[in-house]
Amino acid sequence: MRRAHAAQESFSRQLIESQEQHRKRIAAELHDGLGQSLAIIKSRAALSLSQPADHEKAIEQLEEISEAAVHAIDEVREIAYNLRPYQLDRLGLTRALETMLQTTANANLIKFNIQIDEIDDVFEKESEINLYRIVQESVGNILKHADATEARVWIKKDEKEVEISIQDNGKGFHPEAAHSREPGRGGFGLFGISERVRMMRGQHVINSAPGSGTTVTIKFDLKNKNERTNGGGN
């Protein structure tokens, strides 16, 4: 119990530090990226207004303004996506997951098999971001660590439960060794997934061994829907 409590405290500290680092990164992106784009737009507009008779120069400045505005929009979208994927509110959880996974598949050489049942309105809004991040982090682990050529992401729903199965044919690992690492020393990704599942009162199992690939299975009992603890955040 003392070890479990210490691990939980360690995770909480790491989570807070991670959130603070995340805020600092966003502040830097706003200042360095978006701030610079807006400064360019302001400067180009002022320069164009100072030479109203020079139409060719005005057109040139408008083109610069347009290019800087496109860059600023892209910056805002990336920052907003990191905070909360806009697809969740615009498309719903099912389509947001499909879009994220298909985009990932198209950008990598790994062959993905993706099957997702309709799970909109199954979870509370506060829990949808947790489920989205669980899948995103699990797939991210495959891309970063597995050296896999094939991966499968299945999300199945019936009257009793929602089951997520994420499998790869990569190099595998020892789950016990990974879980024993302190957060921030290589085990933070798995620890974060475990914590999100715990907050949603789900169950998860990791089956892996060196040379045998990895399968992550996560289950949420729909009978506990009204009792499930909802973890917000990103």
pLDDT digit string, tens, across residues 95-142:
999 999 998 999 889 999 999 999 999 999 889 999 999 999 999 899
For residue 228, what pLDDT band results from cuts at 50, 70 and 90?
Answer: very low
* Average confidence score pLDDT of the chain: 83
- State both tokens at 121: 């309105």
Instruction: Kindly calculate the radius of gyration of the chain based on its CA atoms and give it in whole angstroms.
Output: 22
| Confidence at 16, pLDDT banded by 50, 70, 90 | low
Strand partners, 152: 113, 167
pLDDT of residue 46: 83
Task: Kindly tell me if the per-residue pLDDT of 86 is higher than 60.
Answer: yes
pLDDT at 221 over 90: yes
The better pLDDT of the pair 41, 171 is held by 171
Q: What percent of the chain has pLDDT over 70?
A: 85
pLDDT digits (tens, 9 = 90+) for 54-85: 788 788 888 888 888 888 887 787 777 777 78
pLDDT at position 65 is: 85
Phi then psi for 131, rounded to 5 degrees?
Answer: -65, -40
pLDDT of residue 189: 66
Which tops the pLDDT comparison, 87 or 116?
Answer: 116
Higher pLDDT, 172 or 45: 172
The model's pTM: 0.67
Contact present, 201 and 229 (Cβ < 8 Å):
yes
**Domain ranges (residues) in the chain:** 2-83, 86-227
pLDDT for residue 219: 97
DSSP code for 53? T
3-state DSSP assignment of residue 86:
helix
In contact, 68 and 41? CB cutoff 8 Å: yes
Judged against a pLDDT cut of 80, whether residue 91 lies above it is answered with yes
Which residues contact residue 149 at a Cβ distance below 8 angstroms, ignoring those fewer than 6 apart?
A: 109, 110, 111, 169
Fold of the domain spanning 86-227: Heat Shock Protein 90 (3.30.565)
3-state SS, residue 205: strand
Task: Enter the tokens of residue 152.
Answer: 């499968």
Dihedral angle computed from the Cα positions of residues 197, 198, 200 and 202, in that order, rounded to the nearest 10 degrees: 70
Q: Torsions phi, psi of 154, nearest 5? A: -120, 135
Over residues 188-205, mean pLDDT:
84
**Mean pLDDT value of segment 167-173:** 95
